Amino acid sequence: MKIKDNFWIGLLAGAACFGLFFLLLSLVNWESLGAFSVRAPYLLAFIPDVVLFRMMLVKWKLDKMGRGVLAVTILGMLMVFFLV
């Protein structure tokens, strides 16, 4: 099955990837670790988006979807730095 190269699907994929990984990281008790800041789970949740972005652009040749994932990643990181 061929995946349709669409910017909006890339936005949805990036947001879903971030959301699922953030839910997984929310199970960790970050206060007990002490060395991590409040922003750590948010920033760590963007790592799969960066990997997904690279795979879409280089391996799968899905340029528009890769741009959608990149847009979610950049906007999300800006929101973390300014709002958290």
DSSP string, 23-70: HHHTTS-HHHH-SS-TTHHHHHTTHHHHHHHHIIIIIS--HHHHHHHH
Alpha carbon distance 5, 14 (integer Å): 14
**Is residue 1 one of the residues assigned to a domain?**
no
Q: What is the pLDDT of residue 32?
A: 78
Q: Are 10 and 56 in contact (CB under 8 A)?
A: yes
**Is residue 45 one of the residues assigned to a domain?**
yes
Number of domains in the chain: 1
Which range of residues forms the domain containing residue 40?
Answer: 7-83
Q: What is the pLDDT of residue 35?
A: 61
Q: Are 67 and 7 in contact (CB under 8 A)?
A: yes
Q: Are 43 and 80 in contact (CB under 8 A)?
A: yes
**Is residue 78 one of the residues assigned to a domain?**
yes
Q: What is the pLDDT along the chain (84 residues), one digit of tens a residue?
A: 688 899 999 999 999 999 999 999 988 887 777 766 778 888 899 999 999 999 999 999 999 999 999 999 999 999 999 997
